A = this chain, B = another copy of it.
Amino acid sequence: MNNPFFNNNGPFKLRDILNDLSLENDQNNQDQSIIDIKDLQNSKSNEITFFHSKKYKTAANNTKASYCITTKNLQNELPKSCIPIIVDNVLVSTSMVTAKFYPDSIYDDYDNTVEEINKTKFNDKVEFGRNVLLGKNVSIGFNCKIGHNTIIEKNVIIENNCSIGSNIIIRNTFIRNNVRILDNCVIGKHGFGFFPNDNKNLRYPHMGIVLIEDDCEIGCGSTIDRGSMSNTTIGKNTYLDNQIHIAHNVRIGENSIIAGQVGIAGSSIIGNNVKIGGQAGISGHLKIGNNVEIAGGSGVIKDIPDNSKVMGYPAKNIRQFLKENR
């Protein structure tokens, strides 16, 4: 599920894209229309992609994109059908091109498209409290409740039988059935992703969404950031306690249980049936297997295989940790 919510401002001429990157226009077919920007795997003909690390070599070898932002060193990994656009910093250039296609995905100002819910078509369909606001492009299913002062900003789909509490802000989010979101959460905000720059950091676009599957519960005061290129996902029947922070691009599996004040850094993948104790932290870009138990307070800094129980900082086998720390 890609980009149901952010408007693609393209197509753009190749010429304009090269101009924005301050590149010399020595490419042929500068009048070519570029339709979209996507990652290596998902991009197609007449689209542009990016390739910044050997880690993604296989995907680069097989990309269907017509153009690819990359470096001199990496360009030879691309197929002949894909014309390299050579830059110094692939991610910064990609960010600039993405911002051109999806300008709304960079900053999260408050949503000025909202209306009071009782002036919308949901007045008779949804049970709601005082001062509930709905933005553009919102869809709400049957038998849903929305509490006081809650703002469903633009680009939200809520399916059936959901209970949304009070003082909540949701945007760019797809909530499936029987989900309960408790008070004071902020869901769907852009992630903490930017290129540091001494004069002024450069925020990069977050075009992903938050996807919350059936039967989940999200505790009070939690924050779940939307993804940048991919989505942030909470799997079916997973429960989150209060004051949890889920960063962008994180994917959590089904039937997992996450206790209070846990933080999961960007792009980590958590399996099914995982239990995470209170205040544990998980670094970014990690893979936590299925049936893993992480003790409260742990700091996880490497991948954890299926069926493991870990504890400590850095988290290690729980028996070893307890033996070493009698």
Contact = CB atoms under 8 A, between A and B. Distances in A.
Nearest to A241: B192
B201 A223 contact: no
Interface residues of A, number: 76
B114 A130 contact: yes
Contacts of A127: 112
Contact of A167 (B164, B167, B263, B281): B167
A245 B243 contact: yes
Given A165-B110, A296-B281, A314-B325, A189 B182 contact: yes
A129 B154 CA distance: 14
Nearest to A192: B241
A130 B131 contact: yes
Contact of A180 (B107, B163, B192, B221): B107
A257 interface: yes
A201 B313 contact: no
A301 B326 CA distance: 11
A269 interface: no
Interface of A is mostly: loop
Contacts of A129: 110-112, 114
A180 to B, nearest CB: 7
A296 B302 CA distance: 13
A199 interface: yes
Contacts of A255: 196, 198
Given A109-B145, A112-B127, A242-B245, A186 B221 contact: yes
Contacts of A309: none
A289 interface: no
The 4 nearest A-B residue pairs measured at CB: A110-B147, A297-B299, A192-B241, A279-B281
9 contacts: A110-B146, A110-B165, A149-B151, A167-B167, A201-B217, A221-B221, A221-B223, A243-B245, A279-B279
Interface of A: 107-112, 114, 116, 127, 129-131, 133, 145-149, 151, 163-167, 169, 178, 180, 182-184, 186, 189, 192, 194, 196-201, 215, 217, 219-221, 223, 225, 237, 239, 241-243, 245, 247, 255, 257, 259-261, 263, 265, 273, 277-279, 281, 283, 295-297, 299, 301, 312-314, 325
